[in-house]
Amino acid sequence: MDFSTLLYEAIDTQNNHFKNPEDDQKNDKEDPLITLALDVLKRDSEKVALLRLKGFERVDIERSSGKHSVVCRHWLKGMCMKGEFCDFLHQLVYSRMPPCKSVEKNSFCTDRLKGCCIFKHTGDDESTDFLGSKENKNDLDHSDDLSYKNDLEKFTHAFNSALLFAFPRIV
């Protein structure tokens, strides 16, 4: 049995168990969650029917876009009202995170510089750190670059030249 038949059976049993004579006088307004669930099922069944007409048989396998392909922004805040009927993913999967809105607006993200932005940034991959510089995995030995770490004079000279480069003197 699929989910829709189970849902319809549950609605029928609920209506039979809790039927009051006063309910007949009302317009038989259903629970809003039930109507939302039925609307979602109706939309999904219509989508599946249209895709079957186009020649796609198994629509529910390996979705790269559409339902459950992007993490729900409202769920991240703890405010998603749809629950199981939400069309978005309710799990923390970084590869499926929605894009960062501040990057789309300003082309930079201050939260990413702080290291606390959880949204996806353009050009992200696993070897990119929070400042955007990529590491070469084959070049992990930096002992040649830091040959002055035991020599105090070389270290102070390199430190001062780095400071002058970053903050030039104003004359």
Q: Give the homologous superfamily in CATH for domain 63-93.
A: Zinc finger, CCCH-type (4.10.1000.10)
Across 28-37, 86-95, 145-154, 158-167, least confident range: 145-154
Query: Residue 86 — very low, low, confident or very high, per pLDDT cuts 50/70/90?
Result: confident
The larger pLDDT score, comparing residue 32 to residue 128, is at: 32
How confident is the model over 68-87, as a mean pLDDT? 82
Q: Containing H/E element for 152?
A: helix 152-166
What pLDDT is stored for residue 56 in this prediction?
62
Compute the distance between CA of residue 168 and CA of residue 171 in angstroms, rounded to an integer.
9
pLDDT 10s digits, 12-23:
766 665 555 555
Query: Residue 149 — very low, low, confident or very high, per pLDDT cuts 50/70/90?
Result: low
What pLDDT is stored for residue 59 in this prediction?
47
The larger pLDDT score, comparing residue 102 to residue 139, is at: 102
- Name beta bridge partners: 99: 120
Check pLDDT > 50 for residue 61: no
The larger pLDDT score, comparing residue 86 to residue 170, is at: 86
123: Cβ–Cβ under 8 A, 6 or more apart, which residues? 132
- Say if CB 48 and CB 66 are below 8 A apart: no
163: Cβ–Cβ under 8 A, 6 or more apart, which residues? none
How confident is the model over 64-86, as a mean pLDDT? 78
Check pLDDT > 60 for residue 148: no
User: Where along the chain do its domains lie?
Assistant: 3-54, 63-93, 99-135
Across the chain, where does the E strand assignment appear? none
pLDDT 10s digits, 111-126:
887 777 878 877 654 4
